[in-house]
Amino acid sequence: MAGTDSERGTAVAADRTEHTPADEERTASARTKWAAAPGSSEPEADPTDPGRDSAPDAAGDLAGLEAGLDALDTGTSARPPLGEILRRKVVPPVTAIVLVLALWQLVFALHVKPAYQLPSPLMVWGALAEEWYKGTILGIVWQSVSRGALGFAVALVLGTVFGLLVARIRPVRAAIGPILSGLQSLPSVAWVPAAIIWFGLTDATIYAVVLLGAVPSIANGLVAGVDRIQPLHLRAGQVLGATGLHGIRHVLLPAALPGYIAGLKQGWAFSWRSLMAAELIATSPELGSGLGQLLQTGRSYQDMPLVLGAILLILLVGVGIELLVFAPVERRVLRNRGLLGTPG
């Protein structure tokens, strides 16, 4: 039905001519003429200059109009003052902690449970202070944190490689994608007995459990991040010539970063959890003593203040790293992309 149009030239307007080099010269010279016209010797954009409308100077008028449009369209965003941030961000959690402590003290004062089962906040504080005076507590915390950090670092590398493979190579995704998500829901404590049989009571056992806990989270985070990349950004990268490794480095990874960071956060939480489980179960003199072993010591001496103190320390380290390392990175990434609501 559209066949009449298919032959090029049958429906072409009468004034259309075939393109020849001469034709092209004609347009080129016409353009030079236009470029040399007084209007195109452009003055600087001057948004403060008012009376431009009446001037025949089209280019200058355009610059002024454009500057005005830009000014009107650009929003202003100022950061709220420090006091405001303190009031909104610091006061609520501090209030919540104080309330929990008060409730705890109240339950203790009412003798709901005997003191050896439910010590007061001050008794827990005393137990921690005692460990501090023994001079061992920093070493214990460091032992666990350094193990956690090293395990996390290795998990980061492995998880990233796995994640990229699963995200980008279809057969790999079909083969191990479901297993990787499934592993995420398997509590890594379940690996402890197996790891002990394989590696004995060594550091290898602890790291194996940490890696099995953290690698799937990091890989899945990266896969989710890659899946959420706008196809338009990938096309734009291709147009710019960012293909292959350049494409991964300059487009794929940065575009997937928000999902990737969410995966890293979860990966850290999983490493820390797995580490505590491994330390709690795999105790031996050669393994040194971390927070998990401290917990175990408290249990064997029926020392409830020490047990609660160890739990508090584990919580503190986990939350501290999340707040000091991951939260600022995530906020920065999201704010740079305009994905965070107005600050505050």
Partner 1 sequence: MPPTLTTPRSADRDTGADDHAGTRTHAGADAGAAQPGYAARIDRVSKSFGRPGARQLVLDDIRLDVAPGEFVTLLGASGCGKSTLLGLIAALDQPSSGTIDVPGGRPALMFQEHALFPWLTAGKNIELALRMRGVPRAERRTETERLLELVRLKGAYRKRVHELSGGMRQRVALARALAQDSRLLLMDEPFAALDAITRDVLHEELTRIWSETGVSVLFVTHNVREAVRLAQRVVLLTSRPGRIGREWRVDIPHPRRIEDADVAKLSVEITGELREEIRRHGRH
**Chosen residue from 240, 319, 323, 327 binding partner 1 by CB under 8 A:** 240
Q: Which is nearer to partner 1, 30 or 190 (CB)?
A: 30
21 binds partner 1 (CB under 8 A): yes
Residue 194, Cβ neighbours under 10 Å: how many? 13
C-alpha closest to that of 308 among 124, 136, 113: 124
Per-residue contact string for residues 172-211; x = within reach of partner 1 by CB under 8 A: ----------------------------------------
Minimum CB separation of residue 172 from partner 1 in Å reads 24
- CB 264 to partner 1: min, Å: 16
Give yes or no for residue 232 binding partner 1 (CB under 8 A). Answer: yes
Listed ranges 25-33, 85-93, 206-214, 278-286: which one lies at the site for partner 1 (CB under 8 A): 25-33
Contacts of 298 (CB under 8 A, 6+ apart): 304, 306, 307, 309, 310
Residues 255-284 that bind partner 1 (CB under 8 A): 255, 257
User: Taking the complex as a whole, how short is the minimal distance between the CB of residue 68 and partner 1, in angstroms?
Assistant: 10
Place of tokens 């609520």: 92
Place of tokens 């003199």: 285
Q: Does 142 bind partner 1 (CB under 8 A)?
A: no
Roughly what angle, to the nearest 10 degrees, separates helices 253-281 and 304-321?
A: 170
Q: Is 13 exposed, middle or buried (0-12, 13-18, 19+ CB in 10 A)?
A: exposed
CA 161 to each of CA 155, 166, 167, 242: distance values in angstroms, whole numbers, following the listed order: 10, 9, 10, 20
* Angle 310-199-265 from CA coordinates, rounded to 5°: 50
- C-alpha 61/C-alpha 40 separation (Å) is 11
Nearer to partner 1 by C-beta: 35 or 190? 35
Q: Is 254 in the site for partner 1 (CB under 8 A)?
A: yes
Site residues (CB under 8 A) for partner 1? 1-2, 5-6, 8, 11-13, 15-17, 19-21, 23-24, 27-28, 30-31, 34-35, 39-40, 45, 58-59, 62-63, 65-67, 69-70, 73-75, 232-233, 235-236, 238-242, 246, 250-251, 254-255, 257, 333, 336-339
